[in-house]
Amino acid sequence: MNAKWWQNAVIYQVYPRSYCDSDGDGIGDIPGLISKLDYIQHLGVDAIWLSPVFKSPQDDNGYDISDYQDIEPMFGSLEDMRRLFAEAGKRGIKILVDMVLNHTSDEHPWFLEAKQSRDNPKHDWYVWRDSTPDCPPNDMLSCFGGSAWQWCEECGQFYFHQYSVKQPDLNWDNPEVRQALYDMMNWWAKEGAGGFRLDVIDSIAKEPDNKVTAEGSMLHPYIREMSKSVLQGTDLVAVGECWSANPDRAKLWSNPDGSELSMVFQFEHIVLDQVGWEKWNLAPLPKVKLKEVIAKWQRELHGKGWNSLFWENHDVPRIVSRWGNDKQYREQSAKMLGIFLFGLQGTPYIFQGQELGMTNAPYELEEYRDIEIRNMAAERLAKGYTMESIMESIHAKGRDNARTPMQWNDGENAGFTTGEPWLKVNPNYVTINAEEQLDREDSVLNCYRKLIALRKSADVFFDGEYTPIWPEWEEFFAYRRSNGKETLTVIANFGEGELNVPADLFAEAGELCVSSYPDANSNVLRPYEARMYLKK
């Protein structure tokens, strides 16, 4: 089987408002990102997933788009975006644009027209239901709290919004909507985008009357239509954010025949530290379960689909603060988590700052900016939750944990901006920053650089079949992958005790390529010690 470029790629996610600010307004921007392309190239990655920079009132930090074909001035201009494509291209880096196709901003001209009256030609581009103002059509809830229905005075109907009231859902059952979105995607491809990250794409075919959001009955037909209209016959990568994916659905989404998307971006391993889908209700970390979930996805998609490998993004906390130890063993555990992830089958993602072992942000409620955090806190306070429990949830899982400005150096505002940062810089930038790590051989950053280079050094990363090693041993996380020619062995200690590993495991392993401690030569795995071995 021949690999597609994105199957051997490593993707780096940039959350532009927090990456690098070129003009001192406290918000990162495209010129700032361009100035850091050498750093990104030095990491060795193949592509950047760029969170939305399109015109937007920023109610949800750009995931509320008011013009898909223009750039929000705080981030720069269309010319800056073209320069980004060109400058990244010179460095062999593709740019994946983040397409929010499930909803627009309520300030998008389509919605401004749609809400004017029931017989406006754009009315049917959104999802409307009749009722009286005090009685929403049903009890569906928005992911950001409150009802999923909002009354609209102008046309005297409710509109449906799975996210904030400023993010009305598009009506994908209208073929004009679908065509307009495909045309817009094709325009970006022509402009130079290397592909798309597709925001909450499993929710586009909603059926509110049946209380269905994800995986509606028309979902896969729509995706296949999009694939034909935009993706097939091109080199574009399409990454589907699918919270609802299970392996069977993922095999459709990422069918190797190319009929749908390139890969799924699913969260089953990420939500294990919470009670069901209620992210704010924290659960103890189930280590054996984490191994089972990872093994299940490795086994099920092998040869039949393609997964994204990630621990972090702009919606989830810093991994070192969840499954690692962000104090005493921060560096060891950050490296261990990277090593463990990078041996798996799929396309690895690094979220900005993960390569430094950046940590969650221990702020006061007023210091957070995220709409999801603010809505949840208000809702839970009204329901009588204690402030202490609310803050505990936010410190563990709030989205702003990952959104704090990138820590470039130990200077003012971590080198992110000369102005007032839109979200406070994590005070630990004095010790955790890129400058300190670049030339230090055993830094988290250099561990990630090695891992990225390793991914290109052997086919087994692409095609090796996964076998777990002693999965019932709680703190010991280990697996082998083999393709008949090469064998990869990864062993990791997910705990803070020492683990005595039977010597015969090493006899089979081959050459040590990377580890989370500078010396790694005994049978004892120290706290958060991980090693990757390769036998060719």
- Site for ligand GLC contains 199 (CB under 6 A): yes
To which H or E segment does residue 380 belong?
helix 371-382
Asked whether position 169 contacts ligand GLC by CB under 6 A, the answer is no
- Which of 536, 518, 512, 516 has its CA nearest to residue 528? 516
What's the CA gap between 266 and 30, in Å, rounded? 28
199 tagged catalytic: yes
Q: 216 and 245 in contact (C-beta within 8 Å)?
A: no
Q: Which is nearer to ligand GLC, 168 or 343 (CB)?
A: 168
Contacts 24+ apart (CB under 8 A), 329-332: 329/496, 329/527, 329/528, 330/357, 330/359, 330/432, 331/357, 331/442, 331/443, 331/444, 331/516, 332/516, 332/517, 332/526, 332/527, 332/528, 332/529
Q: What token pair was written down for 233? A: 């016959």
Residues 504-533, interacting with ligand GLC (CB under 6 A): none
Q: Which of residues 59-88 bind ligand GLC (CB under 6 A)?
A: 60, 63
- Would you say 452 and 45 are in contact if contact means Cβ atoms under 8 Å apart? yes
Closest to ligand GLC by CB, 313 vs 332, is 313
By CB under 6 A, tell whether 200 contacts ligand GLC: yes
- Pick the catalytic residue from 29, 59, 199, 486: 199
Instruction: Give residues with Cβ within 8 angstroms of 433, minimum separation 6.
Output: 356, 407, 408, 409, 410, 414, 415
Residue 270: CB minimum distance to ligand GLC, A: 12
What is the Cα–Cα distance from 120 to 311, expressed in whole angstroms? 45
- Nearest residue relative to ligand GLC (C-beta): 63
Q: Which residues pair with 468 in a beta bridge?
A: 479
Which is the catalytic residue, given 64, 72, 98, 241? 241
Minimum CB–partner distance for residue 63 and ligand GLC (Å): 3
Give me the 216-245 binding string for ligand GLC, x by CB under 6 A, dash otherwise.
Answer: -------------------------x----
Among 59, 273, 315, 400, binds ligand GLC (CB under 6 A): 315
Tell me if 163 contacts ligand GLC by CB under 6 A. yes
Minimum gap (Å) between residue 516 Cβ and ligand GLC:
29
Q: Of 103-122, which residues contact ligand GLC (CB under 6 A)?
A: none
C-beta of 17: minimal distance to ligand GLC in Å? 12
The answer to the question of residue 100 lying near ligand GLC (CB under 6 A) is yes
Which distant-in-sequence residues (6+ apart) come within 8 Å of 467 by Cβ? Answer: 479, 480, 481, 482
Give catalytic status of residue 459 as yes or no. Answer: no
Closest distance of CB 161 from ligand GLC, Å: 10
Q: Where along the sequence are the contacts to ligand GLC (CB under 6 A)?
A: 60, 63, 100, 163, 199-200, 241, 314-315
Catalytic residues: 199, 241
